[in-house]
Structure 1
Amino acid sequence: MPSTTTSYDLVPRILPYLDRLLIFALLEHLSEQKLYPADVLLQAKYDVMKDTNMMDYISETYKSIHGEDATVPQEITERRKDVLEKLVEFEKKAEKMLEIVRNPEVVNALRSDAAQNFSYVKDNYAVTPEMVDILYHYGKFQYNCGKYAEAAEHLYQFRMLSNDPELVISATWGKLAAEIMTLQWENAVSELLKLKELIDQKTFTDPLVQLNHRTWLIHWALFFFFNAETGREKLTDLFLSPAYLNAIQTSCPWILRYVTVTVLTSRNARKTAAGRSSTYATYQKQIRELVRVIKQERYEYSDAVTDFVYALYVDFDFEQAQTKLAESADVVKTDPFLVGSADEFLESARHLVSELYCQIHQRIDIRDLSARLNLSAEEGEKWIVNLIRDTRVDAKINFSEGTVIMNHPPQSVYQQVIERTKGLSFRTNQVLAHMLTTRNATAAVNGAEGGEAQE
């Protein structure tokens, strides 16, 4: 595996699954991180935005690239004029419809049933399907002009009245993007869940189309890392739901980096959401599922973050985990989606190392454990004191000797059988998964050889 953070860069893999304006938002974020040369990012932003309706930005960026004295191409000047004319045209076409949907009487009458809503405005205001569609096209045009709040409003109004399933899904994609661009995270979470529901409930003639929708939604969901306080738990639930975990394994295994970070950091997010025992049980279940998928997909994708989990939970190799934890720190701090969660991830990762290490050993050398956590002796001592206090484990610290004595309560025979059974069940599932993977790979090879023989 590569050892540099540049080789761990996932941006090129993520860009094909993003809307162009979301790509622009990501490039803006990359400019702040200075991970790429400024001139390269500036040209990339121009290439992304040149086909949008944000003509003033296009002109300014062109001059930034070619010099302030450079003459803006005639094509850009003419397009600016066309955009302004179309904007006026849309305003006239949508004027009557906007007056209706903004009428307080209509607002109070609308419900969650779009068919019922359309019948109401049709009977009382002579609204036609074509008039409703104007809201969709106007909202889409506004979005491409960079007027995200207006776009979100018009797309919402359209969705309240339309019975066209394809346009409703498209409008929901647009509204989700608009909410992300305006940093309205609570609204964005709502749109994410609504879009997931539409994708999951819709009957697709081609399953591949549904898979593509889910793959795109997974990538758009990465923007919620920009706001760790909103939607983190929803992200974890989305990534680990069977349909979306299957999509990750099938179409985008590199998302396992983000699945790992959401699962590990959800330990802190769930502390205030439920009782300690139920929260910890949920967390442990998520960890087991994460380990299963990382182990199963290791041949397809791995990086320092997933390798850390593999070293810790599969190999029980603390030295390798220590190395991968150090590499993970560099990776998450240079990943545009994870940089804001870097400290939280490292804290959670150290918790995992500490817990496993303390479960295995009874007498613990503080300096040794500190080194495995990539902390100085002084930092490690403070860390262990806080860990014992927070987790309330039965342990005694001998500061003069620099050791911690763990008091592991003896398990009953019944509990030992239960734990061993759980372990056997887990390993059996791993063996079955490996056998299925091997069988499928063999079948694919045999099929390919058979095809060559026929040729």
Structure 2
Amino acid sequence: MAEYDLTKTIIPYLDRHLAFPLLAHLVETNIFPVEQVRAAQYELAKGTNMVDYAVNLFEQLHPDGEVPAEFSAKREKALSTNERLQQEAQAVLDVIEKPEVAQAMRQDKNQNLQFLKDSYGVTLEQIHALYNFGQFQYSYGNYSGAADYLYHFRVLSTDNELNTSASWGKLASDILTGKWDTALEELNTLRETIDSRAASTPLLPSSSHLESRQSLYSRAWLTHWSLFVYFNHPSGRALLLDTFLSPAYLNTIQTACPWILRYLAVAAVLARSAAGASARARYALRETVKIVQMEEYQYADPVTRFLTELYVQFDFEAAQRELAQADTVVTDDFFLSEFRDEFLDNARYLISEAYCRIHQRIDISDLSARLNLSPEEGEKWIVNLIRDTRMGADAKIDLEKNVIEINRPALPIYQSVIEKTRGLSIRTQAMGAAMARAVRNSKSRVVFHQAMFNWMFFVSINGKGPAYEDVKYISK
């Protein structure tokens, strides 16, 4: 199933350290030749300060080869750089970790910087040493140490660009150390930062286009990094649905990375078994099916085609075939492999529910075959399904004829209206927010155009010289 592997598609959106776990998973799955995966690991490791790891990979690739001398020089340089940066950073940490300094800290960063400068002579350059050492520790493979230094730097720094960079580094460090609660907090912080920058759109059209493109890239990167958190945090799948179905990130997925639809589809299927998420899960599943159908021309795999065949084409035989392939795809996927059994269980439930919804008399053997189960397993599955769901009052099993008879009462008209309009309130809120942003932008452009008209009128009275041409250019 190498054609459905997304590793080489996802890696360009990751930091090289985040790519190592994906490549290690490929070694275990044997989808690609191990030598090729080792070579990819080695090429990534060469760009870091993890010299011993790179040497180990080189020796695996070339058992009889001699280790290049450049690694020895690189190791010595890394050790000396680490010692120098540690001394610079430790001088700042010794100050800010004093109890009296910690008690004197306030919410205002500028006030804190002035206090540290006046009382202890700490300068901005010394505070930047925390960032430099944290960044070096990350490249060195000491992710927990990197997270600590980047956190302390962000507490003191007033440089927005470096603070954002430190947030990315701390998120990667928390992911690689498996601190999923902290990683989720960092993920939300970065998401708020990106959204706030996107909301403050500059006035000039060229700058607006550049800012929109930058926001798209940032959201695309955050979408891929978030997969580590959402598929490891206990509440991650529900949070993934909330994030990826929001207008901004849904637009990012459709525009820049449609392959993320695989993870959206799996999360929608897994949501069925989440506690207390029945109505929410049904809404997420309906929206996901619509999006998967809409973007089928851009991306499709057995997971997305399973939903399309089941809910769009109502082709149960095709859905059965796609589910059999989706089993392998989910098993081989780095992010999804741990959810293989839960995914299959929920997918079979969805097939059973859809099949029972359009039939009144169902042969148990036929339904078992559609679920890729033996007759005995299928009978147990169907009995448990009827017992644990709302079908219990409407369905009866005739063991002599080996069939299920379903007598479903007609749905009241008002209930039909409620079901069809359930998602309108959410869409209305999204449209209202979009219209409000459009109105704000249009008002600012009206003010801008009025000012440009006045400037052009003033300049034209004094002759069409260079100033007139400059104003004309700006107005365009």
The alignment's TM-score, normalised by the length of structure 1, stands at 0.86
Query: Structure 1: where are the runs of 5+ without partners?
Result: 426-455
Bigger mean CA offset, 52-61 vs 83-92: 52-61
1:16 counterpart = 2:12: yes
Deviations 1:335-385 (A, max 9, x none): 122111111111111111111111111222111111111111111111111
Where does residue 227 of structure 1 map in the other structure?
232
- Structure-1 residue corresponding to 2:217: 212
- From 247, 252, 273, the counterpart of 1:247: 252
Change (3 A) 1:174 1:355: same
Question: Are residues 1:259 and 2:255 paired?
Answer: no
Task: Please state how far the C-alpha of 1:221 moved relative to its aligned partner.
Answer: 1.5
CA positional deviation for 1:73:
1.3
Return the letter of the residue paired with 1:195.
L
Judge which range, 234-243 or 220-229, deviates more.
220-229
1:143 — aligned with what? Answer: 138
Which residue of the partner structure matches residue 189 of structure 2? 194
Q: Aligned letter for 2:76?
A: K
Distance 1:424 1:224, change over 3 A: closer
Q: Secondary structure at the match of 2:397?
A: strand
Bigger radius of gyration, 1 or 2? 2
Deviations 1:313-351 (A, max 9, x none): 111121211111111111111112211111111111111
Tell whether the 8 Å contact from 2:364 to 2:404 is kept in structure 1 after alignment.
yes
Shift of 1:236: 2.1
Superposed CA offset, 1:98-125 (max 9, x none): 1123223444555665445445534543
339-348 or 24-33: bigger deviation = 24-33
The structure, 1 or 2, with the larger RCO (C-alpha pairs under 8 Å, 6+ apart) is 1
Assess, with a 3 A threshold, how the Cα gap between structure 1 residues 416 and 245 changes in structure 2: closer, same or farther. Answer: closer
Distance 1:71 1:389, change over 3 A: same
Q: Is the 8 A contact 1:224 1:232 kept in 2?
A: no
Runs of 4+ in 1 over 6 A off after TM superposition: none
**Which residue in the other structure is 1:319 paired with?**
317
Matching of residues 378-397 of structure 1 within 5 Å: 378-393=376-391, 394=393, 395-397=395-397
Q: Structure 1 residues 390 and 114 mapped into 2: Cα distance closer, same or farther (>3 Å)?
A: farther
Q: Please, which of 299, 302, 321 is the counterpart of residue 301 of structure 1?
A: 299
TM-score, normalization by structure 2: 0.82
Offset, 1:168: 0.9
1:119-170, Cα deviation, whole Å (9 max, x unpaired): 5534543332212211111100000000000000001111111111111111
Report which stretch shifted further, 250-259 or 320-329: 320-329
Q: 2:180–2:233: 8 Å Cα contact kept in structure 1? A: no
**What is the alpha-carbon distance in structure 2 between the residues aligned to residue 376 and residue 308 of structure 1?**
21
What's the counterpart of residue 337 of structure 2? Answer: 339
Rounded to whole Å, the distance in 1 between the matches of 2:106 and 2:286 is 42
Contact 1:185 1:230 in 2 (8 A): no
The alpha-carbon distance between structure 1 residues 423 and 170, as it changes in their structure 2 partners (threshold 3 A), is closer
Q: What's the offset of the Cα at 1:386?
A: 1.3
Preserved CA contact (<8 Å) 1:179 1:187: yes
State the AA in 1 paired with 2:345. Answer: E
Q: Which of 98, 105, 108 pairs up with 2:93?
A: 98
Gaps of 5+ in 2: 202-206, 425-476
CA shift in 2, pair 1:118/1:423, >3 Å:
closer
- Please say which of residues 154-163 and 389-398 is displaced more in the overlay: 389-398
Counterparts of 2:421 and 2:296, CA distance in 1: 23
Shift of 1:311: 0.9
| Count of matched residue pairs | 413
